Amino acid sequence: MAAEGLSAPGDAADDRQAAFHRRIGAKHLAALWVARRGVDLSKPAAPTAPALWRFAEMRPEIMTAGALIRAEDAFRRVLVLENPAFAGELRATNTLYAGLQLVLPGEIAPCHRHTQTALRFVIEGEGAYSTVDGERTRLHPGDFVVTPQWSWHDHVNEGAGPVIWLDVLDTPLVGFLDTVFRESWTAPLYPVRRPDDTAPALYGAGLVPEGAGPAHDASPVVNYRYATARPALARLAAAGDIDPCHGHRLRYAHPMTGGYATPTMAAFLQALPAGFRGALYRSTDAQIVCVADGSGRTTIGSRTFDWTRGDVFVIPGWHAYAHAADETGAVLFSVSDRAAQEALGLWREDRTA
Ligand code: 1HN
């Protein structure tokens, strides 16, 4: 016993151990054999909890927030989806933040930039624009918008109704790396420097302007439109290209590198055909999933989450799960830190779970 570091209370060896640990503690040293005793390091601890947020429950609350505070006065008018395992920490997973953002007609979410990368998936409304580094893109439901780290961005709603989207940012990860910088632009709106939607029209079609220079870390597409992605999924389905776990699944790709849309976050759009019953799957990246269309359910371990359009749910890393679709079929948008994990050579998947 004593040799391992623990002994019966009160004996001389125990006193020597305790004195040793007190002494080294004062020298900012710790005994690894004590700190790691009994800790299972054979697989990820995966502290993120499975969780679901229903759009039908979130929508009235974000509309109430719309009456409580103006977008101009808020940091951003966002309801943060906090993982139950990380209450008070503004985290949906261990590395990612998720929030539901509302911009009301006539409102401006003022221009700023920061070193966190932001992704948006539009859930409801028409008539809003996001401006990213001087280019406006109009937002429609199902559109996937990339705001690369350190790009100036603002949001404006010129429409007649509320516009609501899901924000996903790598704030916990960038915070952990202690690389957070942030600036406000000198005016609410950044000057528009190019015709609207130039980037999706060019890069989105696989066309790179001469002189564009080398690829940046994040995708230049700005907006991957649902009007393009949804038919692409239908083509994949028509081609019979189906994964037993994921259904018909597409990765949002950086058009110049073929990699993920951002250096830290990977995003996907997948269609589950009517009545689909997915096989069990797990991977090391915790996913944030937003239901773009249809309804179904996902079983994560012993829990089953029923979902419908606009709902958001979290699948923790290395938890075995299976998707199922109702007779409506379903389309799921998902984001994870898989891009960062793969860049570091750490990502794993398991189809035998
Ligand atoms: C941010 O810049 C936005 O630009 C939304 O809409 C949510 C959460 C944390 C930090 C920055 C936005 C954010 C954010």
Q: What is the pLDDT of residues 130-154, one digit of tens each?
A: 999 999 999 999 999 999 999 999 9
CA of 144 to the centre of ligand 1 (A): 15
**Strand spans (E) along the chain:** 51-53, 78-80, 97-103, 108-114, 118-124, 128-132, 135-139, 144-147, 153-157, 163-169, 182-184, 223-224, 248-251, 266-272, 282-283, 287-300, 303-308, 312-315, 321-336, 349-350
Find the 65 Cα to ligand 1 centroid distance in Å: 16
Tell me: the pLDDT tens digits for 19-48? 999 999 999 999 999 999 999 999 999 999
The answer to whether the CB of 246 falls within 8 A of the CB of 221 is: no
Residues touching ligand 1 (Cβ under 6 Å) are 76, 78, 97, 99, 101, 109, 114, 116, 118, 153, 167, 169, 171
7 pLDDT above the threshold of 60: no
Residue from 62, 75, 145 to probe ligand 1 pocket by mutation (most atoms less than 8 Å from CB)? 75
List the domain boundaries for the chain: 51-204+214-350
Q: How many CB atoms lie within 10 A of CB 188?
A: 13
Mutate to test the pocket of ligand 1, among 167, 265, 335 (most ligand atoms within 8 A of CB): 167
- Calculate how far, in angstroms, residue 111's C-alpha sits from the geometric centre of ligand 1: 10
* pLDDT of 1 over the 50 cut: no
Tell me, what's the pLDDT at 211? 86
Please, what is the end-to-end C-alpha distance for the chain in angstroms?
A: 38
**What confidence score (pLDDT) does residue 8 get?**
58
User: Which residue's alpha carbon is at the smallest distance from atom 12 of ligand 1?
Assistant: 76
Q: Ligand 1 center to residue 76 CA distance, Å?
A: 6
**Residue with CA closest to ligand 1 atom 10:** 171
Q: Which residue has the tokens 């125990």?
A: 14
Query: Tell me, what's the pLDDT at 73?
Result: 87
pLDDT at residue 183 tops 80: yes
Helix-strand-coil split of the chain, %, nearest 5: 20, 35, 45
Report CA(80)–ligand 1 centroid distance (Å): 10
Pairing status of strand 312-315 against strand 266-272 = unpaired
Yes or no: domain 51-204+214-350 corresponds to CATH 2.60.120.10: yes
Distance 315 CA to ligand 1 centre (A): 22
